[in-house]
Amino acid sequence: MVDISKDKFEIIGANASESQSIVRPSISYWQDAWRRLKMNKVAMASLVFLIFLVLMAIFGPYMRPFDYAHQDLFNTNKPFSKVHWFGTDYLGRDLFVRVWMGARVSLFIGVTIAFLDAVIGVTYGGIAGYFGGQVDNIMMRIVDILYGIPYLILVILLMVVMGQGLWTIITAMVMTGWVGMARIVRGQVLQLKEQEFVLAAKTLGASPGRIILRHLIPNALGPIIVSMTFDVPNAIFSEAFLSYIGLGIRAPLASWGTLANDATQVLLMYPMQLFIPGFFISVTMLAFNMLGDGLRDALDPRLRR
């Protein structure tokens, strides 16, 4: 022990008010996330674009004096013009109006399904992964079973029971769609739950629900968000596939998927008909991905400063 003389220390006194002062303003988790998201220019640009898209989906169909279902059989498959900004389709319908009507349907389907898939998948996967053992085993076998049953049978049966419509499609897709998310979350949780902070939380007496929600899920947020951003285009194309085999939304309503599908039939002759919906789908997905990236960074508790 080195002897340190007392005169090397000086009493400066305690200032009660100062000790309570906070260097940074107190902000919640979400406020912090939003602050960091705002700093990410690419993500913000994507957000602005998506808002623009939503606005166009709402108002776009009224910008031209055509009804999305109105046919003009004497003006089919026309190229871009002053009258028809995006040209017309095989029944002479205005594609500008149809693209924005399609945006309504596709965005709604995509976002709703991604959201529902995430909610169900995260809960299910979280529980299976956290409890592990027999619980995990049985829950995952149920997932295998859902993967294994032919999806089309479910769709056709649902169509018979529920009739054709948007919610039938959404139900059909969510019924099997969430299992992918569940598997990813479960994989992550399996890995994370052995880490020290979980042990710490357990020791402090946190309930399993709290551990899953507050500790495990936020740490698995990266893959979850990436998976969600993939879910959106997946849903949009599953809907297109269903339309392709005749079981999609009710004609003459359009979605980006059906527009792309219809256009693929005439790809060699009128490629621009495919290009327009294709472009919007791609750019939208780009925006979702960039935003997803930004969100991931913003929400990651490890990056919180």
Closer to another protein by Cβ: residue 83 or 91: 91
Q: Site for another protein (CB under 8 A): which residue of 13, 25, 150, 205?
A: 150
Window 1-40: residues binding another protein (CB under 8 A): none
> Taking the complex as a whole, how short is the minimal distance between the CB of residue 7 and another protein, in angstroms?
40
Window 153-172: residues binding another protein (CB under 8 A): 153-154, 156-157, 159-160, 163-164
Could you give the string, one character per residue 282-301, with x where binding to another protein holds by CB under 8 A and - elsewhere? xxxxx--x------x---x-
Q: What is the three-state SS of the chain?
A: CCCCCHHHCCCCCCCHHHHHCCCCCCCCHHHHHHHHHHHCHHHHHHHHHHHHHHHHHHHHHHCCCCCCCCCCCCCCCCCCCCCCCCCECCCCCEHHHHHHHHHHHHHHHHHHHHHHHHHHHHHHHHHHHHHCHHHHHHHHHHHHHHHHCCHHHHHHHHHHHHCCCHHHHHHHHHHHHHHHHHHHHHHHHHHHCCCHHHHHHHHCCCCHHHHHHHHHHHHCHHHHHHHHHHHHHHHHHHHHHHHHCCCCCCCCCCCHHHHHHHHHCCCCCCHHHHHHHHHHHHHHHHHHHHHHHHHHHHHCHHHCC
> Taking the complex as a whole, how short is the minimal distance between the CB of residue 274 and another protein, in angstroms?
7
CA distances from residue 251 to 33, 95, 157, 254, 268 in whole angstroms, order as listed = 42, 15, 20, 7, 24
Window 73-92: residues binding another protein (CB under 8 A): 73-74, 76-77, 90-92
Closer to another protein by Cβ: residue 61 or 257: 257
208 binds another protein (CB under 8 A): no
Size of site (CB under 8 A) for another protein: 88
d(CA 136, CA 142): 10
Window 220-249: residues binding another protein (CB under 8 A): 222-223, 225-227, 230, 233-234, 237, 240-241, 245-248
> Taking the complex as a whole, how short is the minimal distance between the CB of residue 239 and another protein, in angstroms?
11
Closer to another protein by Cβ: residue 42 or 51: 42
304 binds another protein (CB under 8 A): no
135 binds another protein (CB under 8 A): no
d(CA 119, CA 133): 23
Closer to another protein by Cβ: residue 37 or 190: 190
Query: Interacting stretch for another protein, rule CB under 8 A, among 3-11, 63-71, 96-104, 111-119?
Result: 63-71
Phi-psi region of 26 (alpha: psi -120 to 50; beta: other; left: phi over 0): beta
Closer to another protein by Cβ: residue 213 or 272: 272
Closer to another protein by Cβ: residue 71 or 112: 71
Query: Interacting stretch for another protein, rule CB under 8 A, among 3-11, 27-35, 166-174, 218-226?
Result: 218-226
> Taking the complex as a whole, how short is the minimal distance between the CB of residue 189 and another protein, in angstroms?
10
> Taking the complex as a whole, how short is the minimal distance between the CB of residue 65 and another protein, in angstroms?
16
